Structure 1
Amino acid sequence: MQIEVNRKTAKGLLTKASGFLEGYTHTLNPYTGCAFACSYCYVRQMPVALFRSEAWGSWVDVKENAAALLAKELAKAKRRGPVTIFMSSATDPYQPLEYQERLTRSLLEAMIAEPPDFVFVQTRSPLVKRDADLLQALGCRVRVSMTVETDREDIRRAFAPSAPPIPARLAALRELAARGIPVQAAIAPVLPSSEHFAERLVGIVERVCIDDYFMGDGSGGRRTARIGVRAIYDALGLPDWYGPDAFKRVHEQLLRHFPQERVLVSQEGFLPG
């Protein structure tokens, strides 16, 4: 798909966090829009997507002045108290455009110059390992959370064909962990997976977060229902994987391989620290 790229001057970058992310002071989205266009993405039902005529995933807005703006906003915010940042809540900071734009990298550089108390980097892209030098420099102030919704590539292709392959994500997690960068695997949302999913994560990460539409889409699953993602489960003949109890089969599997305190559920897995 050809992506329409728009360049804009942002008026503000740090947004006050609320709701599911109320444990943070701010959210930070380097881009508006996301080329990964995952079928289940809750952002499809948010104003940023609903008020655009173009299909979600077909456009991305680049915030050209982001790094300079962040430096100013960080300095100001830190004068008021601790600053904790969730990056990103409505886009992927390492979507394909980041290869050439290097916008997210510039934001990390700004954070090194003016460090927040904590930044949580949420992505599904192996590109994050490019910035391992900056992530190392942030030390205990950062955690990288890599979305790994399933261990089955056929399932990944059915739900998120434009997203990076699962093996590449796991390899990136392994590399970041080896460099001492705090990481976690985020099984969010839980998609159909194999009985060996938890085994494949052992030895790569020490911490796992699991979430689903019903806990994590901000509306008890109603927002996801409007997207129509249930049809994909039905087409695959896997309707039993769509429901508020489906996550338990993966959760129970994880508890057989990870200490209970290392298996976090929904919001607790995305909080600072």
Structure 2
Amino acid sequence: MIKPRYEGYCDSEPTKLVREKFGNTNVYGQIAKSLLTKATGFIAAYDFTLNPYRGCQYGCSYCYAAAFSPNNKMRQDWGNWVIFKENSEEILAKELHKWYKHNPQIPPRIYMSSVTDPYQPFESKYQLTRRLLEVMLDVRNDGHPTPTLVIQTRSPIITRDIDYLQRFQRLRINMSIPTGSESVRKDFEPRSPSIKARLNAIYIIKKSIDSTKGFVPRISITITPLLPTFINDEADFIDRLVIADRVVIQDFHPSHSSSLIASTRQEVITIKQKYAWWYDSEKSSYIKFKEKLISRLPHVDIKEGKDGFGYD
């Protein structure tokens, strides 16, 4: 099979042209053959992963998902392109129909998303994630339970879909907040929403969903990977995490130069040097921060790594 050649990232005639520019982002369309991918490895507790997009506009310096870019040029330009799966709703409906044909009363466990952010900025215009939520909810019309769903994001755009989110009986929202210091966030992930915006999004979700009229989702704050937080920010940041029922911490993935391996990008190495006070004793910094979480959040479930990413 001939690999697609993306305009702007190939040396010969492209087979995939830029559909539009969204800010500085090249947007491409793709016909998907499947949408639900068998979950393995780190999130093997699920039946499937679901990635509405390929690529992510947030382009975080440390993101392991860059390793799964279509080619090396796109890997190096992580954050400046996104591919949307234009037939997603049709494919998801067929795949869910196939699941429920064999498991009519057993909801599939779906993790959305493993290598993209389903609420990256382009979603505000294209609304693909919202349409996929609608497909998942439509299974109730045939008497099936809605999927068990976990949504991993760092975006306040998720609040737009509260009307749909409250209709999932088994939903967990994982809000990624790797640091409690804004200056650290700006160094490691300058394109991403502020810490305040992410926390406010969780407050809005919890405040807006009436338990007598809908299902209240479970909430995780995923501090993954754990980035430095300045000492004068620690107490306030940790105290604000009380809104969650779970906090997950994890250190960096190992770095690999090869593709198709979940790895931390080399781009983050220089940034880490700025925070030698933390990374020169990285193991100790991690342990001390974990101990503070446990001490200040006695009623919140503190988990590490893989153990924290299940629904339950």
Query: Could you state the TM-score of these two structures normalised by the residue count of structure 2?
Result: 0.79
With over 3 angstroms needed to count, the CA separation of the structure-2 counterparts of 1:7 and 1:46, relative to structure 1, is closer
With over 3 angstroms needed to count, the CA separation of the structure-2 counterparts of 1:80 and 1:18, relative to structure 1, is farther
Q: 1:160 aligns with which of 177, 189, 194?
A: 189
Q: 2:285 aligns with which of 243, 246, 249?
A: 246
Number of the residue aligned with 1:151:
180
2:233 aligned with 1:184: no
User: Does structure 2 retain, via aligned residues, the 8 Å contact 1:44–1:56?
Assistant: yes
Deviation string 1:56-101 (CA, Å, 9 cap, x unpaired) is 1111001111112111111112334441111000000000000000
Is the deviation greater in 30-39 or in 116-125?
116-125
Number of the residue aligned with 2:18:
none
Number of the residue aligned with 2:28:
6
Query: Could you state the TM-score of these two structures normalised by the residue count of structure 1?
Result: 0.89
User: Does structure 1 retain, via aligned residues, the 8 Å contact 2:218–2:245?
Assistant: no
Q: 1:259 aligns with which of 298, 306, 309?
A: 298
User: Does structure 2 retain, via aligned residues, the 8 Å contact 1:33–1:49?
Assistant: no
Number of the residue aligned with 2:64:
42
2:131 aligned with 1:106: yes
Once the two structures are TM-superposed, the CA of residue 210 in structure 1 deviates from its matched residue by 1.4
Deviation string 1:135-156 (CA, Å, 9 cap, x unpaired) is 10113x2111100111111000
2:199 aligned with 1:170: yes
Number of the residue aligned with 2:15:
none
Number of the residue aligned with 2:121:
96
Amino acid at match of 2:224: A
Once the two structures are TM-superposed, the CA of residue 229 in structure 1 deviates from its matched residue by 1.6
2:229 aligned with 1:201: no
With over 3 angstroms needed to count, the CA separation of the structure-2 counterparts of 1:35 and 1:242, relative to structure 1, is farther
With over 3 angstroms needed to count, the CA separation of the structure-2 counterparts of 1:245 and 1:90, relative to structure 1, is farther
2:163 aligned with 1:133: yes
CA distance in 2, matches of 1:152, 1:262: 22
Flag structure 2 segments of 5+ consecutive residues without an equivalent: 1-22, 140-144, 210-215
Amino acid at match of 1:185: I
Amino acid at match of 2:193: P
Once the two structures are TM-superposed, the CA of residue 236 in structure 1 deviates from its matched residue by 3.8
CA distance in 1, matches of 2:37, 2:269: 32
2:33 aligned with 1:18: no
User: Does structure 2 retain, via aligned residues, the 8 Å contact 1:43–1:90?
Assistant: yes
Amino acid at match of 1:72: K
Q: 2:55 aligns with which of 26, 30, 33?
A: 33
2:56 aligned with 1:56: no
Deviation string 1:197-243 (CA, Å, 9 cap, x unpaired) is 311222x223211122159x9xxx9932x524232121244452773
Amino acid at match of 1:96: P
Is the deviation greater in 96-105 or in 38-47?
38-47
2:109 aligned with 1:84: yes
Is the deviation greater in 90-99 or in 227-236?
227-236
